Amino acid sequence: MSNPTRPPLKPLQQAWEELLAYAVPLAAPELVPTHEADGRVLAESIRAELQVPPQDNSAMDGYAVRSADIAQAGIALPVSQRIAAGDNGQPLAAGTVARIFTGAPIPPGADAVVMQEDTAAQPDGAVAFNAVPTAGQNVRRAGEDITRGAEILAAGTRLTPAELGQAASVGRAQLLVARRPRVALLSTGDELIMPGEVAPQDMRPGSIYNSNRFFLRSLLVRLGCEVHDMGNVPDSREATVAALREAGASFDLVLTSGGVSVGEEDHIKPAVQLLGQLHLWQLAIKPGKPFAYGTVGQAHFIGLPGNPVSSFVTFLLLVRPFVLRLQGLSQLEPPRVAMRADFDWARPDKRQEFLRVRRNANDGLDLYPNQSSGVLTSVVWGDGLIDNPGGGTIRRGDTVRFIPFAELLV
C-alpha cells in the first residue's frame, strides 16, 4: 500500500527531463587559447576561412610528373627541380620531372606523383620509372579535407583533441567556449574524517574516511567545472543552513553529498526548503533514491545520496548531463549498448536498477557479487552499468542494456 502522505518516487526518465529543463546554458562565453580548450564546449560555430589543404600537394616522397610523358614503363627523364614541404615549385618543364617530398605543393603542369620506391636513379642523374603513372595518383587535392566557408564545428560541440587539431588547421588560435560552471562542493556527515588528518590506526570507532569528496571533485573537474571545495558540513540544522546560504550566494551550482534522506540527521532538505525551493526529491532508482534538485539563493542545488555508489551513479546519470547542459551541450544521453548477461539476477528491485558489471573475454557481462550501495569496490572493479528496468529479472544469456563508464567519465 502506498503511503498517502508521501508522493511516489519519480521515474528516472521524468526526473531527467525536468532536471535538464532547469539547466539553462550559462551566459557570457569566454575566448580561450585553442591549445587550452580541451574538454570545453564551443559557444560559436567555426567556419573555415580557407580550404584545407590550401594547395594540391604530394602524398609521397618521390617525383612529380606529367603522366603523359611516361607512356610506358622504363622511360627515364631528367630532374629539373627539387620541391620540399614549405617550398613553392616552378611550372614543370615538359619532358622533365620534379623531385618532391610529402606535403610539398604540386608544381603547375604536373598531374601525378610517382613514389620513389617505383623509380630507379640513373648514373646521369635522370630517373627511370618502373610503371606507367595514372593522372592524379598520390596527389592530395586542395580542399579535399575542408572546403572554404564550410562549418567544421557547430556551437555546442564538446572539444576533444581531434577538434582542437581541426580548429587549428583552419587557423584558429582562440576559440569561444562556454564559461566553466562554478560549483560549490559540500559533503555532510559527522562520521567523516579526511585522509591525512587521522591515520587509520588512530580512527575513533564510528569514523570513516570521506571518499565522495574525492571522486565528486574529480568528476566535476573532468566535466569542465571550476570546483570550490567547501569541505564537510556537520550534521546540524544551523551548520547546514549556514553552509548552503554561503554557497548559494556565489556559485552556479551547489552540490552536496549525504544528509538528503529522511533520517533525523538529514538536514539538507529542510535547509533547501528554507533558503530556496525543492523541485525534485527521491527517484525510483537503485542505487540513488535520495536525490534532490532545487535552488538555494541564486544557485542551482543538487543533493546526492551519501552512500558512495549511490553518489557516484547519480552523478553520472544526472549531474553529468546537468553540468554539460549548463555549458550548452545538447547530446547528453549516454549510449545503451545491447550486451549479453553472463549471470542470473533473480530478485530484481521494483525500482530501475543500475548494476555494476564488467565485460569479460567472451563479450558478455559479469556481475560484481556485492551490489550494496556502500561498496565502492563494485565501481572500481566494474567498467559500466546495466540499466535494468524495475522488476526485470535477468537470466544468463539475456540481452541487457549496458552503459560503459568510458562514455561517462569524459
Closest residue by Cα to residue 320 from 76, 58, 65, 20: 20
Which H or E element spans position 321?
helix 320-326
Which H or E element spans position 13?
helix 12-22
CB of 267 to Mg ion, least distance (A): 9
Query: Exactly one of 34, 58, 119, 210 binds ligand AMP (CB under 6 A); which one?
Result: 210
Query: Exactly one of 259, 276, 294, 384 binds ligand AMP (CB under 6 A); which one?
Result: 259
CA angle 278, 280, 285 (to 5 degrees): 145
For Mg ion, which is the closer residue by CB, 57 or 307? 307
Query: Exactly one of 102, 116, 211, 295 binds ligand AMP (CB under 6 A); which one?
Result: 211
For ligand AMP, which is the closer residue by CB, 289 or 300? 289
The reply to whether 224 sits near ligand AMP by the rule CB under 6 A is no
The reply to whether 308 sits near Mg ion by the rule CB under 5 A is no
CB of 183 to Mg ion, least distance (A): 20
Length of the chain, in residues = 410
Q: For residue 230, give Cα distances in angstroms to 118, 129, 186, 247, 332.
A: 67, 72, 5, 8, 28
20-44 residues labelled b (16+ CB within 10 A) or e (exposed): beebebbeebeeeebeebebbbbbb
The reply to whether 187 sits near ligand AMP by the rule CB under 6 A is yes
C-alpha to C-alpha distance for 193 and 252, rounded to whole angstroms? 27
Task: Choose the one of Mg ion, ligand AMP, none that binds residue 187, judging by a C-beta under 5 to 8 angstroms depending on kind.
Answer: ligand AMP
Amino acid, single-letter form, for residue 114: V
Question: Which cell is 103 given?
Answer: 606535403
Query: DSSP string of 70-115?
Result: --STT-EE-EEEEE-TT--PPPPPTT-EEEE-TTPBPPTT--EEEE
The reply to whether 261 sits near ligand AMP by the rule CB under 6 A is yes
C-alpha to C-alpha distance for 319 and 288, rounded to whole angstroms? 12
Beta-sheet strand order (sheet of 62-65): 79-83, 97-100, 62-65, 112-115
In the chain, the largest separation of any two C-alpha atoms, in whole Å, equals: 100
Query: Exactly one of 259, 288, 303, 308 binds Mg ion (CB under 5 A); which one?
Result: 259
CB of 275 to ligand AMP, least distance (A): 19
Site residues for Mg ion, 155-194, by CB under 5 A, read 189
CB of 199 to ligand AMP, least distance (A): 18
For ligand AMP, which is the closer residue by CB, 61 or 191? 191
Site residues for ligand AMP, 300-319, by CB under 6 A, read 305-308
The reply to whether 258 sits near ligand AMP by the rule CB under 6 A is yes
The reply to whether 240 sits near ligand AMP by the rule CB under 6 A is no
Query: Measured in whole angstroms, how far is the alpha carbon of residue 215 from the centre of its chain?
Result: 16
For ligand AMP, which is the closer residue by CB, 187 or 327? 187
Interacting span for ligand AMP (CB under 6 A) from 104-112, 138-146, 252-260, 387-395: 252-260
CB of 260 to ligand AMP, least distance (A): 6
CB of 230 to ligand AMP, least distance (A): 13
For Mg ion, which is the closer residue by CB, 259 or 288? 259
Residue matched to cell numbers 566535466: 223
Backbone torsions φ then ψ of 36, nearest 5 degrees: -115, 15
CB of 303 to ligand AMP, least distance (A): 9
Interacting span for ligand AMP (CB under 6 A) from 11-19, 82-90, 155-163, 189-197: 189-197
The reply to whether 258 sits near Mg ion by the rule CB under 5 A is yes
CB of 362 to ligand AMP, least distance (A): 35
C-alpha to C-alpha distance for 148 and 50, rounded to whole angstroms? 5
The contact set with Mg ion (CB under 5 A) reads: 189, 258-259, 306
The contact set with ligand AMP (CB under 6 A) reads: 187, 189, 191-192, 208, 210-213, 257-259, 261, 263, 305-308
